[in-house]
Amino acid sequence: MRLNWLVAKQDPNTTLIPKDLKAYAQVVQWCSFANTEVLPSLGAWFRPTIGRDPYNKKNVDAAEVAVKKVLKYLDGVLRDTTYLVGERLTIADIAVAAHLDRGFQYV
């Protein structure tokens, strides 16, 4: 997340990082959600299936349940809105989508 953030901040006119403090805080929360909820759950689901971690069916099944819970939550949030924060694309949308894309390359 930090590298994406630094790259986005290079352009002083970027709309990827909101200037409004409330929206900025929401972007930080979503990026944190992507790093702490989305990525670990997806990794725990796909890494054993591609041989990167030891395979344990119980753990893989639990990770699948966790991913589906995260996706259900995201579906609910995005049901009535196009973007995670505000009315335009932010780094939060990119972070969540990038983590989901990486995971679903394998599952």
Q: Are 93 and 84 in contact (CB under 8 A)?
A: yes
- What sign does the dihedral 40-69-17-90 (CA atoms) show? positive
Question: Tens digit of pLDDT for each residue in 26-85?
Answer: 999 999 999 999 999 999 999 999 999 999 999 999 999 999 999 999 999 999 999 999
∠ CA(91), CA(4), CA(95), 5° rounding? 45
Distance CA 58, CA 89 (A): 37
Sequence spans of domains, the chain: 30-107
CATH number for the domain running over 30-107: 1.20.1050.10
User: pLDDT class for 12, splitting at 50, 70, 90?
Assistant: confident
Q: Are 77 and 84 in contact (CB under 8 A)?
A: yes
Question: What pLDDT is recorded for position 13?
Answer: 79
User: pLDDT class for 3, splitting at 50, 70, 90?
Assistant: low
